[in-house]
């Protein structure tokens, strides 16, 4: 098993000699076997090994006992152990997703604070199968069926090659201590239900179903990679402008694209703009496709991204109340607007007595008595861009400049340069 582990570790997991690897250890059999194998690998590859244990707080005294077990085990191995207490409530809504999100936040923080280049988790082939069944039940597409990869950014999964049975056999043979999490038997949790009841029924039809599902994951990942490449080309080739929280794509290019490629592009865009890398459900994507083909005037995804057609473009923009950004202006110079990935250059004809602000305009706001939306329309600025266009505001609330478009003659005199007239 160790030889196969090393092949996976240095192959698809891309771990090299001298790397610093953080082992995510719950104390269960999967993660303690992972720790044992990585300690053995460290002697071959000169790895720096550390351990992180996440105490979610959900199980009270039992979870504290697990933390003590892991820290004691690390002491016996001479390894540093970083314990993070999350203090979560057992009956919080959507507890599985919350726990996962907070767990990975803690792991990322530990890596950053202590200089680890990668973090290893104990996911096995069985975990992969359970993940795919879960996603299949929820209506996942090919992207979701790709499952977990051996390496995702700095996260590695060296045990994906092995079944849970193989891991447990290794633990028994080598006398590796571990603890059992009682909540793993709670079938009120979806993944436990899949593990304890659904997968066993599937095994009655095909005893090697775990390996079969794992092969499906590999196929989906390979074919999905091809579609990802085509969708990236479509996004790049059809892009009219990309201002971060507002982006436009030529509809003429999009309607000619294969539907699978088009949908994959939209999934990637929406996932990035909502900050939800795990993807968006199919109904949301279908709503965007309806806008593209004129079956709907617009569509809003989870109240966070609005999609509209505008001037021959399909525009994706941040939804919600303005201002979309608000930056203090303390003097002349260049000001970068992070959410837009744009820079405004501001100059003053005289000294200013108090700070000003650079922000997106509110509905109905004016500059020197003229509506900002009218000023922008007169310069042929796309309608979808107008709510995001930078304006300079005095401390009394008066707008004195619409960046690169119109500067009021009111004192103090403000001059702006903003060359990105999309």
Q: How do the domains of the chain map onto residue ranges?
A: 2-207, 243-318, 326-417
pLDDT of residue 248: 97
Q: Which residue has the tokens 């092969």?
A: 215
Query: What is the pLDDT, as a whole number, of residue 82?
Result: 96
Phi, psi of 415 (to 5 degrees): -120, 130
- Catalogue the long-range contacts made by 252-255 (C-beta closer than 8 Å, 24 or more residues apart): 252/312, 254/292, 254/314, 255/292, 255/293
What pLDDT shows up at residue 277?
A: 66
Q: Which helix (H) or strand (E) element contains residue 368? A: none
Query: Can you tell me the distance from the alpha carbon of 128 to that of 162, in angstroms, rounded to the nearest whole number?
Result: 10
Residue ranges of alpha helices (H) inside 18-94 are: 29-45, 61-77
Long-range contacts formed by 171-176: CB under 8 A, 24+ apart: 171/29, 171/32, 171/33, 174/36, 176/29, 176/32, 176/33, 176/36
Domain formed by 243-318, architecture: 2-Layer Sandwich (3.30)
Taking each helix axis from N to C terminus, what angle separates 29-45 and 61-77, rounded to the nearest 10 degrees? 20
Say yes or no: do domains 2-207 and 243-318 share a fold: no
Assign domain 2-207 to its CATH superfamily.
HUPs (3.40.50.620)
pTM: 0.74
User: How many Å is the Cα radius of gyration of the chain?
Assistant: 27
Strand (E) or helix (H) holding 19: none
Q: In the chain, helix, strand, coil percent, each to 5?
A: 45, 20, 35
| Residue-level pLDDT, tens digit, the chain, 422 residues | 999 999 999 999 999 999 999 999 999 999 999 999 999 999 999 999 999 999 887 777 888 899 999 999 999 999 999 999 888 776 666 677 788 888 999 999 999 999 999 999 999 999 999 999 998 988 777 888 899 999 999 999 999 999 999 999 999 999 999 998 877 888 888 889 999 999 999 999 999 999 999 999 999 999 999 999 999 999 999 999 999 999 999 999 999 999 999 999 999 999 999 887 666 778 899 999 999 999 999 999 988 999 999 999 999 999 987 789 999 998 899 999 999 999 999 998 777 777 899 999 998 999 999 999 999 999 999 999 999 999 999 988 899 999 999 998 876 688 999 975 44
Q: What is the rounded distance in angstroms from the CA atom of residue 158 to the CA atom of residue 38?
A: 9
Nearest to 264 by CA among 232, 307, 219, 222: 232
The pair of structure tokens assigned to 217 is 């994951």
**CB proximity list for 67: less than 8 A, separation 6 or greater:** 27, 53, 55, 83, 85
Token pair of 54, please?
């996440």
Q: Is 123 left (phi over 0), alpha (psi -120 to 50) or beta?
A: beta
């Amino acid at each position: 098993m160790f030889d196969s582990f090393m092949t996976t570790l240095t192959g698809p997991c891309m771990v090299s000699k001298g790397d610093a690897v953080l082992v995510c250890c719950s104390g269960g059999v999967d993660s303690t076997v992972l720790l044992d194998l990585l300690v053995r690998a460290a002697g071959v590859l000169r790895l720096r090994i550390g351990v992180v244990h996440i105490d979610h707080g959900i199980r009270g005294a039992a979870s504290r006992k697990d933390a003590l077990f892991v820290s004691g085990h690390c002491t016996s191995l001479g390894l540093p152990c970083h314990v993070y207490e999350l203090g979560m409530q057992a009956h919080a809504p959507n507890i599985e997703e919350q726990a996962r999100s907070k767990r990975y936040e803690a792991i990322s923080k530990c890596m950053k604070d202590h200089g680890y280049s990668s973090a290893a988790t104990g996911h096995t082939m069985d975990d992969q199968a359970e993940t795919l069944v879960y996603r299949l039940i929820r209506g996942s597409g090919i992207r979701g069926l790709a499952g977990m990869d051996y390496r995702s950014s700095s996260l590695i999964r060296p045990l994906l090659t092995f079944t849970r049975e193989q891991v447990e056999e290794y633990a028994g043979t080598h006398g590796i201590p571990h603890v059992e999490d009682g909540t793993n038997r709670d079938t009120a949790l979806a993944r436990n239900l899949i593990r304890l009841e659904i997968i066993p029924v599937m095994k009655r039809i095909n005893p090697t179903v775990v390996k079969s599902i794992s092969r499906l994951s590999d196929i989906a990942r390979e074919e999905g990679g091809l579609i990802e490449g085509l969708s990236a080309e479509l996004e790049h080739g059809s892009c009219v402008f990309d201002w971060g929280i507002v982006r436009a794509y030529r509809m003429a290019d999009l309607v000619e694209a294969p539907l699978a490629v088009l949908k994959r592009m939209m999934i990637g865009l929406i996932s990035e703009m909502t900050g939800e890398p795990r993807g968006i459900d199919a109904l949301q994507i279908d709503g965007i496709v309806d806008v593209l083909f004129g079956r709907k005037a617009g569509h809003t995804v989870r109240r966070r991204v609005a999609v509209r057609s505008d001037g021959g473009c399909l525009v994706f923009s941040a939804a919600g109340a303005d201002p979309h950004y608000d930056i203090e202006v303390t003097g002349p110079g260049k000001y970068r607007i992070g959410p837009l990935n744009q820079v405004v250059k501001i100059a003053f004809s005289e000294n200013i007595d108090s700070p000003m602000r650079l922000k997106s305009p509110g509905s109905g706001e004016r500059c020197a008595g003229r509506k900002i939306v009218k000023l922008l329309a007169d310069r042929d600025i796309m309608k979808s861009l107008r709510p995001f266009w930078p304006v300079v505001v005095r401390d009394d609330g008066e707008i004195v400049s619409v960046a690169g478009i119109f500067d009021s003659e009111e004192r103090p005199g403000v001059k702006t340069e903003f060359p990105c007239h999309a």
